[in-house]
Amino acid sequence: MKHEIIGGALTLADGKPLPLSKAVRAGDFLLLSGQLGLNQQGVLAGDSIEIQTRQALQNISAILAEAGASLTQVVKTTVWLVDGADFARFNAVYAEFFAQHPPVRSTVVSGLVLKGALVEIEVMAYAP
């Protein structure tokens, strides 16, 4: 199956390139790399779970839009939280973005590579 890279190359705030793509279209599916709460300058948008969750979901929405899709087409999310105690506050923000017909979701508690990151969200969308 042919696939298409969406969104171009990824780089860190210091300009270092990363060996991954923002998203890939494979057939009718869009698969996005996990998104952190990084702002357009490539740094964490804030230090609260609410701010980072909102930013990560805004990043996801923007990448989907680049591919001609939207959050309404997301069918699966995987979420990593650094602290399980943040779950309720994370979930409240997440519900704002997926109020109608929320996708299936797995949520795990795990460390993240970027120091200070509290949440990472990965999505799969069906976008024929």
Reported as a single tens digit per residue, the pLDDT across 70-110 is 999 999 999 999 999 999 999 999 999 999 999 999 999 99
Sign of CA dihedral 70, 32, 53, 75: positive
The CATH code belonging to domain 3-126 is 3.30.1330.40
Evaluate if residue 48 carries a pLDDT over 70.
yes
Percentages of the chain per state (helix, strand, coil), in multiples of 5 = 25, 40, 35
Reading the block at residue 51, the tokens are: 């701010």
Q: How far apart are the first and last CA of the chain?
A: 15
Name the phi and psi angles at 113, rounded to 5.
-65, -40
CA distance 96 to 72: 12
Q: Which helix (H) or strand (E) holds 124?
A: strand 119-126
Question: What is the mean pLDDT of the segment spanning 47-74?
Answer: 97
120: pLDDT confidence band, cut at 50, 70 and 90?
Answer: very high
| % of the chain at pLDDT higher than 70 | 99
Average pLDDT, the chain: 93
pTM value? 0.92
Question: What is the mean pLDDT of the segment spanning 56-74?
Answer: 97
Evaluate if residue 59 carries a pLDDT over 90.
yes
Angstrom CA distances, 15 to 60, 96, 99, stand at: 21, 33, 36
For 38, which DSSP code? Answer: B
What confidence tens digit (pLDDT) does each residue in 5-25 have? 887 777 777 778 888 889 999
Q: Where are the domains of the chain?
A: 3-126
pLDDT of residue 1: 63
